[in-house]
Amino acid sequence: MTSLKRVTTKQLGELLIERKVITSEQLQKALDYQKVNGGLIGEILVQLGFSKEEDIVQVLTAQYGFPYLPLTNYDIDLESIKLIPEPVARQYCLILIDKIGNNLTVAMSNPLNTKAIEDVEMLTKCVVQAFVSTTTDIRKAIKRCYVKK
């Protein structure tokens, strides 16, 4: 697993302010909330209604260079998906999109979660290529693809 390199040194909140997605005051409220309750700043901004998931995903793409993969109407390989057990997919909010050779294409709500990537690589003995997607899209895909028998 290689370390993640930022494309820009700016923080998520700073980039969202630059793009006029949120205000400085909204960011401060979110940071105050985070100090008390914990959590990821992007998810908190969405929870508080200051931002949409898509805005967070686009900034993560700009910040770290992760490709964005919208999952709506995306064909997920239902055979390959069995490589990652449903509880693992739910725990890390990720879904396996495709497997080519020893490489897995995985959509994640938090592609900065190196533990999730390492766990999936250890579990599958494959190399993970992380894409970023919204939490909502991933949860819908998990529900759609992991069919109870």
Residue 5: predicted pLDDT: 53
Q: pLDDT of 2-53, one tens digit each? A: 445 555 567 788 889 999 999 999 999 999 999 999 888 888 999 999 999 8
**Quick one: 38 exposed, middle or buried, by C-beta within 10 A (0-12, 13-18, 19+)?**
exposed
Please state the pTM of the whole predicted model.
Answer: 0.76
In CATH terms, the fold of domain 80-145 is GMP Synthetase; Chain A, domain 3 (3.30.300)
Residue 148: predicted pLDDT: 63
CA nearest 34: which of 22, 45, 50? 45
